[in-house]
Amino acid sequence: MDFYEVNKIAGGLLLAGVVTIFIGIFGNTLVPKHDGGHGAEPHGTEMAATTPAARSQPAGPEPVAAMLAEADIARGQSITKKCTACHTFDEGGAAKQGPNLYNIVGADIAAREGFGYSDAMGELSGEWTYANLNAFLFKPKGFVKGTKMTFVGLKKARDRADLIAYLRTLSASPRPLPEVDASEPAKEGEAEPKAALPAPPAPVQAAEQATPAPGAPPEPEGQAWSFSLIGTAAASETPGDLAERLAAADLEKGKKVSRKCAPCHTFDKGGKKRIGPNLWNIVGDEVGVREGFKYSKGMIAFGGKWTYERLDAYLTKPRKVVKGGKMAFVGLKKPKDRADVIAFMRTMADEPLPLP
């Protein structure tokens, strides 16, 4: 090999080396260097570190005690459709895959005669308190390890409150609603505890009572009562407002609104009592006199007659009008809904009371 050939080979090798160095320098400018240098973690690990952490799940169910007084019983009855494949709810109903649930609130756990409970459920003691029902309905398999119950549970506190409030009505003597600890703030999504009602004003002496205007009709016996019990909104509605609403009432809509009452009441003549009395001929009737029904002390003390004004006030917020009443219905906030249902109930009589 002559000297000329050797120079060509050496020149080629030198060029190849320069090109290699150039590519390396240029490549580093395009690809940023990891902060960790050669010791940096592999890409997979780095991506895992930057993935957002999974949301923490609540450790247990939100309390529903504060929500029960304002629960929607009709909605709770609708929720039971999820349960009818395995349970019955009527008094004396037969067991299915699960036991009958009439009078379940406050009953002993796993005590339904003739039903074969799982070993896990049978080992539990205590009662189906409001708190236990809330925890069980949130996640049955979490409350009772090894239960045969396949239902996944109700995650929304409002759903559990409405269902439990309905289950409470399935009893001849419903359990009192639980006391709400005022020192414990309501959880997000819960109703706030009810504020204490203002004390009624002191009785007015007979000498200080206003004298009726000449020609004004006397107030019917037994109908004197204080509007201070029903709150500012209801008290601000004059009798004329109610008369106008009743005159323009929609009976068909009132019949639909009355479905909210169907879990606790019947409306037909001679209908049976449920958790509440039969409501045939209720408009204008005496308060607390339905034969065979046991009224609360609060309702008996309320007394008088079911005038249009009284029904309108009571349906606004039952538990505020009758202190100590057993009525769990939250009430009808819309004046038109109240007028429609009162007008419908008025027709449930052989001789309807004249409109005001």
* 277 — pLDDT class (breaks 50, 70, 90): very high
pLDDT of the residue at 312: 95
pLDDT of the residue at 3: 60
- The DSSP result for 144-205, as a single string, is STT-S--------HHHHHHHHHHHHHSSSSPPPPPPP-TTSPPPTTSPPPPPPPPPPPPPPP
Write the class of the CATH domain 226-347.
mainly alpha
How many Å apart are CA 140 and CA 112, to the nearest integer?
18
pLDDT of the residue at 353: 94
pLDDT of the residue at 261: 86
Asked if residues 143 and 134 have their Cβ atoms less than 8 Å apart, the reply is no
- For 202-229, the pLDDT digits (tens) are 443 333 344 444 444 444 444 344 444 4
Residue 127 DSSP symbol:
B
Classify 107 as helix, strand or coil.
coil
Is the model's pLDDT at 303 over the cut of 60? yes
Is the model's pLDDT at 142 over the cut of 80? yes
Q: Catalogue the long-range contacts made by 296-300 (C-beta closer than 8 Å, 24 or more residues apart).
A: 296/322, 296/324, 296/325, 296/326, 297/324, 298/322, 298/323, 298/324, 298/325, 299/325, 299/326
How many Å apart are CA 267 and CA 277, to the nearest integer?
9
CATH of the domain spanning 65-169: 1.10.760.10
Which of these, 306, 318, 308, lies nearest to 342 by C-alpha position? Answer: 308
Q: How far apart are the first and last CA of the chain?
A: 130
How many Å apart are CA 1 and CA 64, to the nearest integer?
99
Range name among 118-127, 176-185, 338-347 with the lowest pLDDT average = 176-185
pLDDT of the residue at 41: 40
- Residue spans of the domains in the chain: they are 65-169, 226-347
Q: Is the pTM of this model over 0.75?
A: no
342: CB partners within 8 A, 6+ apart? 246, 249, 254, 283, 308, 311, 312, 315
pLDDT of the residue at 314: 94
* 24 — pLDDT class (breaks 50, 70, 90): low
pLDDT of the residue at 194: 35
Distances 184 to 65, 179, 180, 193 between C-alpha atoms, Å: 11, 12, 8, 10
Which of these, 347, 348, 301, lies nearest to 321 by C-alpha position? Answer: 301
Is the model's pLDDT at 137 over the cut of 50? yes
- For 64-112, the pLDDT digits (tens) are 998 998 899 999 999 999 999 899 999 999 999 899 999 999 999 998 9
Q: What tokens were used for 205?
A: 């002496």
116 class by beta-carbon count within 10 Å (0-12 exposed, 13-18 middle, 19+ buried): exposed
